[in-house]
Amino acid sequence: MEFGICDLGFGIWVLEFVSDMGLGKNKVRNTSLSFGEGRGEVSMERRKIHPQKFMMWVAMGSMAMAFAGLTSGYLVRQAQGNWRYYDLPMLFWYSTVAIIISSVTMHFGVRAFKSREMPRYKALITTTLVLGILFGIFQYAGFYQLYHQLQQIRINGETLNQSATVRLNGNPSESFLFIIAGLHLLHLAGGLIGLTIVFFRAFRVNVKVYNATGLEIAATYWHFVDILWVYLFVFFLANQ
């Protein structure tokens, strides 16, 4: 239920931030101050967090708690025994490198947009999107390999003279891997949708007003799914 609310909310925010990015729109902003208004009021206005950014932080907090609950459930079930240990494919390492680099390019992409370096911004956003898609491809290939490549069965530290693939409907440890990583991929898909919209707007629309609010929201979410995967990947490695 919690994941459903978060995903629905994020879908709404994707539509909101792309309409608020200021790309190709002449937005009239009232920058005048009435008599008697001082710097203190302006400073307070600047310190206020954007409502969409606040909603995104609330959603990310909810998602983080949900994944913390899932990993806690993983540890509780592992302690009960009948737990299979298996090796993660190298493709997961490749996907981790790809998403970390994409987070770096996203960071510099936002900086380039704010500096109005549009050619550099377009190149960085393109690189981020490509790396995000590459992450998804590596993940799919890694799970495909788990599903079809035999591994020797290790239960509770004991190696059996049997081999089997790692499957969703197999040992509880296998089910946990597919469910947790699969839910992360769903959240990553939301980020890819946002990045795709940003990408097309960057190349199809002439920027007249450099409002980075929407881009910052997309970047914040992208960094979140990046950090979340690194946490999950280290968690799975530590428990193999």
Q: Where are the domains of the chain?
A: 2-26+38-238
For residues 138 and 53, which has the higher predicted lDDT (pLDDT)? 138
Q: What is the dihedral of CA 190, 191, 193, 197, to 10 degrees?
A: 140
Q: Which CATH number applies to 2-26+38-238?
A: 1.20.120.80
Return d(Cα 159, Cα 186) in angstroms, integer. Answer: 34
For residues 24 and 122, which has the higher predicted lDDT (pLDDT)? 122
pLDDT of residue 208: 62
pLDDT of residue 45: 44
Return d(Cα 56, Cα 53) in angstroms, integer. Answer: 5
pLDDT of residue 47: 60
pLDDT of residue 25: 41
For residues 38 and 32, which has the higher predicted lDDT (pLDDT)? 38
| Range 211-225 average pLDDT | 88
Return d(Cα 203, Cα 207) in angstroms, integer. Answer: 10
Q: Is the pLDDT of residue 183 over 60?
A: yes
> Range with the lowest mean pLDDT among 130-139, 199-208, 218-227?
199-208
The number of C-alpha atoms within 13 Å of 237 and in the hemisphere containing its C-beta is 11
Average confidence score pLDDT of the chain:
82
Give the helix ranges, DSSP H, for the chain. 2-19, 39-47, 51-79, 90-114, 118-148, 172-204, 213-238
For residues 135 and 202, which has the higher predicted lDDT (pLDDT)? 135
pLDDT of residue 207: 60
Q: Is the pLDDT of residue 21 over 50?
A: no
* Longest distance between any two alpha carbons in the chain, whole Å: 84
Return d(Cα 237, Cα 95) in angstroms, integer. Answer: 14
| Range 129-148 average pLDDT | 95
Q: Residue 175 pairs with which residues in a beta bridge?
A: none
Q: Is the pLDDT of residue 49 over 50?
A: yes
Convert the pLDDT of each residue in 141-162 to its tens digit: 999 999 999 998 899 878 888 8
Q: Is the pLDDT of residue 29 over 80?
A: no
